[in-house]
Amino acid sequence: MDIKKILVINGPNINMLGLREPEIYGSKTYGDLLKFIDAAAADMGLEAHCFQSNSEGAIVDEIQRAHGIYDGIIINPAAYTHTSVAIPDALKAVGILAVEVHLSDISKREPYRRISYTSEACLKTIAGLGFEGYHEAIRFLKNLNKSA
């Protein structure tokens, strides 16, 4: 296993961090998250590229484009987690190792957030750690280099 380049995908409304329900998602902005991910990737010696979209089709397009370019995907599909079949289908189609991240603990919120269609296309789901969840996901992908 040689994971060097990772794609970090954030779904709808993640660009509204800071403004959006700060009691759930905190007061830091999407710009802060981008800086956090850059630093976390540098810390792990990986190259990370971030992508955000509010549109399901654009996320599917980005996953398809990742084929042959990225060795790992970290994805917070946001609300599409609970509704999209196309996103896990795309992850399975490209076969890139993927980790699902959620800022909040989706298992302790509304019942409809407990279902994740994305998780069956991911090696692991990390939820409820805020920004740190992305660091954890990067670390998990990096550690795959040792285990294979």
Instruction: Say if CB 33 and CB 74 are below 8 A apart.
Output: no
CB 116 within 8 A of CB 79: no
Q: Does 126 bind ligand DQA (CB under 6 A)?
A: no
80 is catalytic: no
- Does 49 qualify as catalytic in the annotation? no
The single residue among 34, 58, 79, 86 that binds ligand DQA, judged by CB under 6 A, is 79
Among 15, 52, 53, 76, binds ligand DQA (CB under 6 A): 76
Q: Which is nearer to ligand DQA, 67 or 114 (CB)?
A: 114
Please tell me whether residue 124 adopts helix, strand or coil conformation. Answer: strand
Helix (H) or strand (E) holding 83: none
Structure tokens at 32: 């802060």
Catalytic option among 70, 102, 134, 135? 102
Say whether residue 87 binds ligand DQA (CB under 6 A).
no
Closest to 74 (Cα-Cα) out of 40, 43, 108, 106: 40
CB of 108 to ligand DQA, least distance (A): 11
Task: Provide the 3-class DSSP secondary structure of residue 36.
Answer: helix
Which residues are catalytically annotated?
Answer: 25, 102
Instruction: Please report, as ranges, the residues that interact with ligand DQA according to CB under 6 A.
Output: 13, 76, 78-79, 81, 102-104, 106, 113
